[in-house]
Every structure is written in C-alpha cells, then in structure tokens.
Structure 1
Amino acid sequence: MNRIKLLALMLLCTIAAMAQAAADGGTRTLRSPNENMLLWFGIDGGRPCYSIAYKQRPVVKRSYLGLQLAKDKHASKKMDETDLMDGFELADSKESTFDETWKPVWGETRDIRNHYNELEVALKQRGTGRRMILRFRVYDDGVGLRYEFPQQKELNYFVIKEEKTQFAMTGDHTAWWIPGDYDTQEQETQESRLSEIRQRFHDAVNWGNSSVAVFSETGVQTALQMKSEDGLYINIHEAACIDYATMHLNLDDRTMTFESWLTPDATGMKGYMQTPCQTPWRTILVSDDARDMLSSNLILNLNEPCKIEDTSWIHPTKYCGVWWEMIVGKSAWNYTDEFPSVKLGLTDYDKAKPNGRHGATTEKVRQYIDFAAENGLDQVLVEGWNIGWEDWANMWKQDVFDFTTPYPDFDLKALNEYAHSKGVRLMMHHETSSSVVNYERHLTDAFNLMNKYGYDAVKTGYVGDIIPRGDHHFSQSMNNHYLHVVKEAAKHHIMVNAHEAVRPTGLCRTYPNLVGNESARGTEYEAFGGSRPDHTVILPFTRLQGGPMDYTPGILETQLGTWSDNPNFVHTTLAGQLALYLTMYSPLQMAADLPGNYRKYDDAFQFIRDVACDWDESIYLEAEPARYITVARKAKGTDKWFIGGKCNEDGHKSVIRLDFLDKGRTYDCTVYADAKDADYEKNPKAYVITKRKVRKGDVLRLTEARGGGFAVSLM
C-alpha cells in the first residue's frame, strides 16, 4: 500500500471515529497557537478517546483513555465493579489560551515562553455519577493531557489497578528504547522498529540483575523517542509526576499501540488516590525537525512555577571529586575490610585495621581541594567519608549509615575549614543503600550537619533493593520520598543531585534546588566495560527530556590501564569528552577525571576550566537521534559562546555557520578537535587545538572521528 492510500485510509478511519463520537455526545477539536498541531477529542461508546495530527499528518490515531480501579472492600458492590474507563458522557467543555514568559533559576535559556491552547473536558459517568475531567494543552511542538478528579461524594478514595492511557502509532516507527524496569534506567538504549521490540527484548535484558519487564516482553520506559517513515520525530514521556507512580509503556505490536503501565508498590497496586487529585501529564512531542526535540520546553512548562520564594542560594556548580578512582577500582569506599559485628554506630572504628585503600582520607581530599581552587572549580565531592561502607551493599540491611559520623581518617571540621579558606566547598554524599526508612529517620540531623559546616549540595544515592522491602524505585511512595527529600533540603538551602532515583519529569521548575539526577547509564559504566559511542547522542532525546543528568563527563585519560589495573577504556575520543559539557546539558557538571590526569592534558583541560554551566541562549545547530548533536550556547550574563559537537561510531562532518554571533564583534576562537587519525578505539587521545579570529557569518568546518567530537570557545 503506497503512502497516499495509507493516509486516505487513516482519514476514513478518523471520519468514522468522529461520526461515532458525535453520536455519543459530541466531539471537540483544538489547534496549537501556530495551528500546526491538531487535537481531536471524542467519546466512542462511552469511552473517551483522542487523536493528534501535525501539519495535517496523523501522529496518534484514535486512542482511548481511562483508569482501571482495584476492588475496594469498603465500597458497595455496584461501585466496586465500576472502572473509570467507559459509560461516560460529555457534561461540559471549555477552551482557553495561555501565554507567559518566565525566567528559570538556571537553564538552557534565560527566558522560556509558555504558550498553549487548552481544552477542558468534563465527563460524567452514567450510573455512578462520578465526575472526571480530561485536560489537554496543545503547544506548537506537542500535547500534554492528564486526568483530574474533583472532590465528590461518589468518588472520594480510590485505588488504581492500572492506568489505560493509549498512544496508537500510525506505523512501524524506528524507536530508541530501553526495556521496562521498575528499579533502574541504567541500560544501553536499543534501536529498532516497533515490531522488533519483542524479538530484541531478551537480548537487551540482564535477567540476573534486573526486575525488568515483569509485565510484558514489549514494555519500554519513557522518554521514548521515535521517528516515522515519513520523517516525523515523536517523543512520549510524562511531566509533573507528583504523588503518583512512574509510567512505563506496553506495546501491542499487532496494532502498534502503546498503553501506559504504572510501577506497582509492594502490594501490587499502582496508586492510592483521594479527591481532589490529578495524574501527571502524559506528553507527546512532535516535529519534522530533530532539533525541536532537544529545544522543547513543553515538559518544563507543564510543571508548576517555582515554589521556593528565595532562590538566591541555588547556583550552577562545576565540581571534581574523590569518586572516579573508586569507580575504576584503585581506591575503596570502605575504611577497613573488617565487617562490623554489631549495628551501626556501635562499631569501634578507631580499633579497626585500615585497609590502606580508603579513598576519602584527609590528606587526599586536601589535594582535591587544592586542585579545585587552582582551576576555578566550585566544589569537591567526597564519597566514602562516613562509617558503614563495610557491609552497605547487597545485604538488604535497614540500618546502614547515619550520615553524620566520619571515618577516623576523615577530619570533617578541618577539611571544611580548609576548603572555605580556598574559596571552595565540599559536596556532601548520602548513599542510602535504598533504606528509605533509615534515611528519613536521619534526614534532619544530616541536613543540620551540612548547615553547620557550610555544605550547600548533596549527592544522594539509592543503590540496591528498596526498604520498605518489596517496594520499587519508581512507585508512588518512592516518588513521594524523593520529592520529600528535595522539599526538606530546600528548607535547609541545600541543592540535591539524586542518583538511582526516579527519572525526572520537569519538577526542577517547581523545585530548582533539584539541580541534577542520574537515572540513566552514566560515565561509571565506562569502567565496567563501556557504553556504545551513540549512547551520549541518544540520551538528550530520551532521558534528558525531563531534566538534566549528572553524567560526570571529562575523562581525558580514556585508557584506564595507564593508571590502574582496570583494562577498560572510555568509548569516546578525548575531544568527544569535552563536547559533552555542551551536548549533555546540566547546571551541575563534574570534572570527573583525576587531578593527575588533567595535568597530563592541561591544554585540553583549559576548555573544562572555561566552559559555563548556565546559559542565556542555546541553539541546536544539528541533530539526529543516536547519530550526532551540535549545539551553541551563550554563557549567562556574558558575550561568551561555546559550541559542542558529539557523534556516534560513524563519525560526522559539521559545517557551522557563526550567524548567531553579535554583529560587529571579533571573537577569539579556540577549537578542540579530533586529530586526523583519531579514533575512539584505536587512537582516542589524538586531538588538535587551533586558534583564530572569527566574526558573525564565518564558517567552521570540523570533522568528528569515530566516537569523537569537538568543543569550541568563542571569547
């Protein structure tokens, strides 16, 4: 069937659906402000449904909406058997428009426009009288939709067994996906047709270490990036996930229809609700230009405005730390190899025998503080500073850390005084080992300690199975915990960088002290065997849609065996590592390598010294998922521009027109590029640095090696 016939058939199906919906109580349509995006809503046999088109091209076919409820022993039999999926009729509808420009505390741009048209559909369920509102916001680059439940006698408390939001695709798109998992996103992205997900699923899953896909062999996580045969880029994710479970997507590969699948809690239920309440937004980004996927602010805009009145203490941060040497295996988190025989806080570490490999020593941390001060870095992260690391992992142990007691060889008070004397702060580390009960019990004391010594940022961690036992990292209760930590931290003027937590959904707009997350396969995996070179040119299309990632770039000594017993290597070129400071946006950027390794490549390290973490303007110059990304950014409050380009294992040739520079200015341009013989496997550290004068309208022609990239500073 050719494309014209296929589009005609889709149009006929849509007309038929609209006719049926009209018979059930009317349809509604709404266009985006520039009229490129079209939303259609209707009721089909009592079931609410919708479809989306972009520039008169179908994107989401007729898809159904609703919630399946769990049986409630307190409800009457009649109510108990009634889901929120069908039997609805249209009670009312309202249309409105909204247009504002707001300033983020930090971000890729100084100003963000929030402009949409809104459709509010009020539904009433026949027989029960239950009321449900479907709210649609139609932007020029996508659609957000959510369920809202007014307070009502007919629906007060209810338990969600499953959410049944559908996204019916128009074809067998190319997709970039990771398998569904209730506890981790630390996986490499798969690229396949939608119809190939099932057959590739088992190859992508590490069954020995993952709770993955207990629901389906075609389950995937969001953000899901797709590309249609006719060149449309489509992304499905969620925004403002508050007091709700994280959404996965189940695919019916016969009809190419995705359906939401929520993370359960320890009881197997998906959500406990009390009206008035609402779900997170379900988001669909659409464009015929891949660059629009990266520059979209739709997910941020669907979150509430900032709730922190005074944000003066929140600041972008560039840091180094005692971390990489432990990841690689040269140093250890634990002070002794003796396992404590009694519970936390009673072990006499002063009498324990040191293992000689402990990384977080007073002497070593002083060296990192000196390095940070010499090179203009703001903070020094120290992991393994506190007692408890001897038996912290894989024990499912409730009482592990108290987050206040240092090891004997870590002088907490003296190190903070030394750091402050150098104009540097220490960054706190709270590894919870996923014992949420324990962390919440100690949280106030831990934050008070940070306030006492002048810490203003904490890296939290959730390695291991969740306690309360049986719960999952992405459940409703755990999502509430992560947000609780962020809110409590704000009271203490502390910024949060959460690792192994839930993937972000734009909450950093509402709580901008949430300056970073991990929630993906980060740089540490380069020490465990590596990630493919395309990994960092797909993450901005997927994981980074909901917020920045603490990817920990900047590994310039890419061959780990030159300084450790680790035989692995980093799967990029040295110049490609510099590019990540631009292409992997975050207000929190780590110079992750060792000070000694940076001294070996001091001329290249100059770019890390110079590059900003906060921006007035960002322009995506080139982009294609998992192939290449080139972006130019203007540093906040300055005339300085930086450009970064990163590619996959195929290499890439970039032609960069400097049309974005200010007219009449001359810039000192420094280019850090792959050498002609550079290759991420064979010759990763071959780079060249060139300098020239440039003006608006000049052109840079740069060649990226296999797995390589480039970085440019324009002063």
Structure 2
Amino acid sequence: MQKFLGALLICTAIIPLQAQQVLSPDKNISLTFAILENGVPSYKVSYKQKDVIKSSALGLETKDVPSFLVGFSVKDVKQSSVDNTWSPIYGEQKSIRNQYNELVVTLEQKALKGRFIKIHFRVFNDGVGFRYEFPKQDELKYFIIKEEKTEFNLAGDHKIFWIPGDYDTNEYAYTTSKISEIPSLMAQATIPVHAQSPIASPSVQTPSMMKSADGLYINIHEAALINYPAMALNVDAVNYKMSAHLCPDGVGNKGYMQTDAVTPWRTVIVSDKAADILTSKTILNLNEPTAYEDVSWIKPVKYVGVWWEYFVTGKSTWAYSNENNVRIGQDFSLLKPSGHHGATTENVKKYIDFASSNGFDAVLVEGWNVGWEDWFGNWKEEVFDFVTPYPDFDAKGLQQYAAAKGVKIIMHHETSGSATNYERRLDKAFQFMADHGYNAAKTGYVGKIIPRGEHHDSQWMVNHYIHVAKTAAAYKIMINSHEAVRPTGLCRTYPNWFAQESARGTEFEAMGGLAPEHTTILPFTRMMGGPMDYTPGIFQTDLSAYGRGDRVKTTLVKQLAYYVTMYSPLQMAADLPENYNRFPDAFQFIKDVAIDWDETYILEAEPGDYITTARKAKGKEAWFVGGVTDENSRTANINFSFLPATKKYVATVYADAKDASWNLKPQAYTVTKLIVTNKSILKQFVAPGGGVAISVKEATTDEIKKLKKL
C-alpha cells in the first residue's frame, strides 16, 4: 500500500458568494471563480500577477436533460487546505508532497427545481486542477453528455508544441508554432497514421505545452481519466482560446453518466521555469491512491526483446506463415512455415541467454501466438486467442529455460483493436500467463476499434483499459499498453499499469525517423501524464546496415541519455544483441543505469531544445545524469550540487566525440572518468542530435589518487 505521511489540515470558511479566490500555498498562483451574466460559471488563473487563463466559461452541454451551462447561482462555498506526503511504489522520487488549497463551489439551477452540481478547484504551487461533480439527487440521475464546454482563454499568441486532435492515435510528429498558425499548419501536421480519426475542427491533443512571450511555461492536460472520454482541445486561433472537445462513441454521444459522478480533473501547470513543469507532480496528486492491498509483486523491469529485428532486418516476421486467411481454432501446424518467423524457441533462447548474461530482468517476445497472418487492416473481431503458441514456440520449455537463468518472459497481447474479443478471453489469457510464469504483458490496439464505431479515446475504451489493468492485478500481472489512450496519472491508482506507449516512439525511427527535437518535447507533453515505453538504446543508428534507407536521428550517446531523461519503470535495451556486443563500453551504461529513483533533479531544460536530468538510484549511493539536445550542438552545464557534501565521487562520462552528429559519425563517442564533488561543474559538448550520459559513484582511495579531478 502507498504510505501517507504528514498532517491533513482542513478548515471551512464562509466567504462572499459573487467572486471566490483561492491562492496556492506559496501565493504565486491565484484562481478566481465567478458567476457571469446569465448565470454562467467561470474561472481565471494568474501566476505572479500575470494572466495565465483569462476569464473562461465552465459547463457541460447535455443531450437528454437541460444542460449545465447557464442559470447558475452560488449555493455554497467551502475552502480547505491539505498538506501530506505519500510514497509511490516506483517513480522519479521516493516521496511526493501533496500540498494544495481547495475551493468547492456548489452551484444551483433554481429554475430546474434546485438541481445542483459542484466544481472542485485545487491550487498547488505549480498549477491548478478542477473538475465537475454531479451528486445524487432527485432532479439528476442519468444524463448523456453532448459536449463539455470548459474553456481555456489564453493570454496571448503563445508558442505551442502540438500534435493534431485525433480520436484514435497519438502517434503524430510534433509541430512547433504560434497558436495563430495552427489552422494553416494542420493539414501538414496530420500525416498518415494507422486507424487515425482527425478531428474536423482545428484542435490539438493534450498534454498541450506552451510558452508565452513573457516567459511563462503553461501545460494543459487532464488527470484521473475514468469512465469518461479523453479530452482534446478545440483551437480558436484568432482569440487564442481553447475549449474541451471530448471523443464521441459510435452514435455521436460523448459520455453516459449516472450520479454520483465526477469528471476527470482539468489541469493547468504553470511556472516561469521550464524545469518546474518537468518536476510537477500535480497530475499524480490528483489521482486516487491505489486500493491494491498487496503491491509487492509490482516491480520495475529492464528488458530486451524479439522486437527491433522485425522492423529493421527484414529477416524475421511476427507471422509463422505467408498464408493470409486464417482462423482461431484451426491447426496451424498444417500451415507452411515461411522460414522467417522470429519468435522461435531457438531465437528466444538467444535473447534469454543475452538477458541473463547482462543482468536484464526479462525478454519481450512478439509473434509467439497464432493469428499474425491476417491480423492487420481487416477489422476482424476474432484474430488472436492469446493462449495458443505457434508450432515452433515451446511455451513450457521456454518458461523453464528462462526461469533457470533468472529471466522472465514478457507476453505480448496484440488485440488488433478488437477489445471485445480481448475482454472475452482476458481471464483465460492471464491464467495462461500465470501458469507459465509470465508476470507482464505488452498489450496493443493497432487498428480500428471493435466494438465498431468506438474510438481508442472514447468512454467505452477508457473503461476497457482500466478493466484490463484491474483484471491483470488479480493475476499479479503488470501491463504495458501500446496504442491506448494517453496516460493521466492512473499509474498511481492502478500501479500495475506501469507503462504506456501512446506517442511516437522508437519504432518510428524505422518508419521515416523522428526529428532530433522530438525527445526534447515528449517529457513536456506526452510524459506529463505518466511513464512511456519509449524503447531506447539503438546503437546501429544508420539503418542502411540492414539495406534500408532510414536513419535513427540521434547519436549513440543520446540513446544512452534517454534512460535518464525519459523516465519509465519499464526500460528496454531495444537494439539487437550483436550491436551491443560491438560497443561493450557504451553498453555498460545501459547495464548500470537504474530504473527506479529516490530523487530527480532537472539541471536545465527548454522544450524543443534541450533537457539535462540527474537522478539518484532507489536505495543506492549511485547517481545518473542524462542530457539531450535537438538538431543543434550545445554545451550542457552539469552542476553536481545534488551530490552529498564532504565526499568525492567517480563520474564516468559518456560523451559525443567532437566530430559526431546524428547524421555524421553518430557512433563516435568517448568515455572518460573524472573525480567530482558537489562543487563541481562540468561544461560538456553535446553534438547535433546528441547527448551526454554520466554514471556517478563514490570514489575509492586508489581512484582519487589516479583519476583527474574536474
């Protein structure tokens, strides 16, 4: 169970009902609630006297009952303060402070027989969260949401890092522009992605990251997305106003509600320092603690896998046969093998041996189960049964082989978008995993969703993902979901749902590549909601080595840095084992780097340009630093003040060579050992598309004598 420390401070105050103000504990953020003309509820937010969100309307439009938009008066107001500390099961720091001032406004629609709702506002030192509550009452039992009308009236034409609004995919490349430029760039930004459903009006997805002309960093997202569709943001590019746009279902409705009910929290994180955005824990704090009684089985995982070879080598495939019309239940041993199947017993053993000899926890195996011959693009309901291996995959034998070497196998459950089929087979699939010693599953939702007409981000699918996580917990199985709705901090409530993809990850490096700036944006956008299974660690970045024209647009050292800058309790060494064997000194960093942390320090950051992060390993006197840049070279300023005083440490610095770049000599790097203290400052060259990675441990007497001092 998560532990709660500290005191809960609650006070109730009766204050004037026309305009209510609540400040953050440090007094820097001010949120004001007011009733506008015609009884429209509104709010505004400022930071250090600067407008962040100007007066913006609140409310929901409904389909079957009178809407929650106008005719409101304030019935009651309560304020309270909370200050406690809790300990996550895994994460970027061992304890998280949950400190906020809260305003709860009860609003009455007197013309509708006194029907009422509540709006909760929580103001933290780094942002605000607010949500609607619909208490049980005689005048309100069931209702259908036509659209949420929450507005975010911005204070200017901010710089914004955005991807197009879409009901089915988050896998777009980021565009950087002014808000006013979004409509003219939308067609160019909406590149083809599988099963995409772009929103017709100009819209962007959350988390939406912005920077104002006067130096404010602003992030808009949501927290605790449960029993509700995901929110995109409509964009009024003339007035710099955004508004909620919920994902519809197959008949066009946005949500089905029964009181008591609450919406997700709408979040606005703000600071005049980019680093504060990355260290914010407001979204996690707005999620409920887990109700799981036993969490001892939930542990971070570092893994390798039968995966990257499918994308780059052309020598192996997910499918066992070249036939393309198969059914669940048929005898797959009668199919003619293609000779290119990757998930064979022999091949998986090689990965198990590699994992065991290099200290990895697990091996992901994709393509182990029958059905891959015609899984994609047919909108077929019963594609996989999740329990029948191909004839050349010995599930029991591999379990025994892996267990003898101290390695787990991560099961792959690709659903091809058929959530109905997966739900019918879920318990049987998880029991199969439990029987074979598999304690983690990678789920996938490539393709159009079944039930047909639903979307990846609709209310039904949001509930499906949570159902999978809760069912998996009953079998003590951890879930890494791909192509699912973007995360909203639910890894706190359902901690076995410990990683997601939900963005453009490494696989796209083999499908046209990712811009060098991509991973300087993701921590400010997608990763605000939770950990990402980005699958880093590609050493062979020039894919012409496999007869391909693609290139990974990073240096080798930048791939090392990702293990620190891209937080996840699930980290993959994604490249082929033979490529790691070619660079054993660089591979050492991947073997050494921690994946669970006591403390995190953002040393420097600017979205779209650079990030340098330092972290202390959980329960160890070991620290790791990672720095990444965009397409421009730079000098990273690494201040070691996070180290304890009085001691000396060895810093092993993995750096780009002076002539390295993402497109020229990406594998050129140096490894240097230096003696550092908490007063040391390292100014390190970072190549275009490059990075820096550093491991730090306490120095021995001999090391202090022999090594150069910084």
Normalised by the size of structure 2, how large is the TM-score? 0.95
Q: Deviations over 1:573-609 (max 9, x none)?
A: 0000000000000000000000011001111000000
Separation in 1, partners of 2:189, 2:36: 38
> Which of residues 107, 111, 122 in structure 1 aligns to 2:95?
111
309-318 or 650-659: which moved more?
650-659
1:689 aligns with 2:656: no
Residue 330 of structure 1 contacts residue 565 of structure 1 at CA under 8 Å; is this kept in 2?
A: no
Task: Give the paired residue count.
Answer: 680
Separation in 2, partners of 1:464, 1:660: 46
Letter in 2 for 1:228: S
1:373 aligns with 2:356: yes
688-697 or 643-652: which moved more?
688-697
Give the equivalent residue in structure 2 for 1:678: 660
Identity %: 56
Residue 562 of structure 2 contacts residue 626 of structure 2 at CA under 8 Å; is this kept in 1?
A: yes
1:707 aligns with 2:689: yes
List gaps (5 residues or longer) in structure 2.
1-15, 698-710
Q: Deviations over 1:76-98 (max 9, x none)?
A: xxxx4x21100000000000000
Letter in 2 for 1:98: V
> How far did 1:695 drift?
1.7
> How far did 1:352 drift?
1.4
Any idea what SS the aligned residue of 1:184 has?
coil
Give the equivalent residue in structure 1 for 2:548: 566
Within 5 Å, give how 1:480-491 maps onto structure 2. 480-491=463-474
Give the equivalent residue in structure 1 for 2:58: 65
Give the equivalent residue in structure 1 for 2:11: none
> Which of residues 547, 557, 561 in structure 1 aligns to 2:540?
557
> How far did 1:498 drift?
0.2
Separation in 1, partners of 2:145, 2:588: 53
Q: Please tell me the root mean square deviation across aligned C-alpha atoms, in Å.
A: 1.2
Separation in 1, partners of 2:677, 2:18: 58
1:335 aligns with 2:320: yes
1:48 aligns with 2:33: no
Any idea what SS the aligned residue of 1:430 has?
strand
> Which of residues 86, 94, 99 in structure 1 aligns to 2:78?
94
Within 5 Å, give how 1:137-536 maps onto structure 2. 137-206=122-191, 211-216=196-201, 218-328=202-312, 329-341=314-326, 343-346=327-330, 348-536=331-519
User: Closer, same or farther in 2 for the Cα pair 1:415/1:209, shift >3 Å?
Assistant: closer
Any idea what SS the aligned residue of 2:428 has?
helix
Separation in 2, partners of 1:505, 1:247: 11
Any idea what SS the aligned residue of 1:107 has?
coil
Separation in 2, partners of 1:252, 1:657: 42
Q: Deviations over 1:113-132 (max 9, x none)?
A: 00000000000012112111
Residue 534 of structure 1 contacts residue 647 of structure 1 at CA under 8 Å; is this kept in 2?
A: yes
Any idea what SS the aligned residue of 1:386 has?
coil
Separation in 1, partners of 2:625, 2:98: 26
Within 5 Å, give how 1:534-545 maps onto structure 2. 534-545=517-528
> Which of residues 20, 34, 38 in structure 1 aligns to 2:26?
34
Letter in 1 for 2:206: T
Any idea what SS the aligned residue of 2:78 has?
strand
Separation in 1, partners of 2:185, 2:88: 40
Q: Deviations over 1:54-73 (max 9, x none)?
A: 01111100000000001x3x
> How far did 1:671 drift?
0.5
Give the equivalent residue in structure 2 for 1:3: none
Separation in 2, partners of 1:333, 1:172: 47
Any idea what SS the aligned residue of 1:659 has?
helix
Residue 171 of structure 2 contacts residue 193 of structure 2 at CA under 8 Å; is this kept in 1?
A: no
Letter in 1 for 2:152: F
Letter in 2 for 1:590: M
User: Closer, same or farther in 2 for the Cα pair 1:44/1:550, shift >3 Å?
Assistant: same
Separation in 2, partners of 1:307, 1:628: 38
Separation in 1, partners of 2:108, 2:196: 39
Any idea what SS the aligned residue of 2:561 has?
helix
655-664 or 290-299: which moved more?
655-664
1:620 aligns with 2:602: yes
Residue 135 of structure 1 contacts residue 147 of structure 1 at CA under 8 Å; is this kept in 2?
A: yes
Letter in 1 for 2:684: L
Residue 195 of structure 2 contacts residue 448 of structure 2 at CA under 8 Å; is this kept in 1?
A: no
> How far did 1:207 drift?
5.6
Give the equivalent residue in structure 2 for 1:83: 67
Separation in 2, partners of 1:585, 1:532: 20
Residue 633 of structure 2 contacts residue 686 of structure 2 at CA under 8 Å; is this kept in 1?
A: yes
Separation in 2, partners of 1:214, 1:423: 48
Give the equivalent residue in structure 2 for 1:6: none
Q: Deviations over 1:8-50 (max 9, x none)?
A: xxxxxxxxxxxxxx9xx51100101010000000000200001
Give the equivalent residue in structure 1 for 2:7: none
Letter in 2 for 1:401: F
Any idea what SS the aligned residue of 1:533 has?
coil
Within 5 Å, give how 1:564-713 maps onto structure 2. 564-713=546-695
> How far did 1:210 drift?
5.6
> How far did 1:470 drift?
1.1
Separation in 2, partners of 1:406, 1:213: 36
Separation in 2, partners of 1:391, 1:215: 31
Q: Deviations over 1:228-273 (max 9, x none)?
A: 0000000000000000000000011221110000000111100000
Letter in 2 for 1:249: L
> How far did 1:669 drift?
1.2
Separation in 2, partners of 1:486, 1:350: 33
Any idea what SS the aligned residue of 2:538 has?
coil
Residue 234 of structure 2 contacts residue 244 of structure 2 at CA under 8 Å; is this kept in 1?
A: yes
Letter in 1 for 2:362: Q
Separation in 2, partners of 1:68, 1:309: 39
> How far did 1:639 drift?
0.6
Separation in 2, partners of 1:338, 1:331: 15
> How far did 1:561 drift?
2.2
1:134 aligns with 2:126: no
Give the equivalent residue in structure 2 for 1:10: none
User: Closer, same or farther in 2 for the Cα pair 1:215/1:126, shift >3 Å?
Assistant: farther
Any idea what SS the aligned residue of 2:111 has?
coil
